[in-house]
Amino acid sequence: QLRLVESGGGLVQSGESLRLSCAASGFTLDYHEIGWFRQAPGKEREGVSCISASGGYTKYVEPVKGRFTISRDNDKGTVTLQMNSLSPEDTAVYYCAAVPPVEGTARVMCAMDMEQEYHYWGQGTQVTVSS
């Protein structure tokens, strides 16, 4: 079964940090564009950050710019989302998702505006930030 597995969520206080990790089960993350999404209670799921297959291109949604950093280690097959200066507005279930390569070729960039491009999803990890 091909799936992604997130880890690293938890309960922290405002201003603290968390590091989320995403790993693949049943396949490798090589050549896959990876995105992190989140869904807060009562809200639609939104893209947070993405990273290209090579790791050379990253993108962030405006509210997390300067606080979150996405990175990947293709040798280890993991993608990490470092989240600093967390606020209660960051409370959500965080999901990682993967865009597979097309005919063996991955895109140079990444995007978060078309969720249907992301074929593989994790089960989500809860991040709760108390004030």
pLDDT tens digits, one per residue of 29-38 = 889 999 999 9
Q: Is 26:1 a contact under the CB 8 Å cutoff?
A: yes
pLDDT at position 104 is 81
In tens, the pLDDT along 48-88 reads 999 999 999 999 999 999 999 999 999 999 999 999 999 99
Per-residue confidence band for 106, with pLDDT thresholds at 50, 70 and 90 = confident
Q: Kindly tell me if the per-residue pLDDT of 103 is higher than 90.
A: no
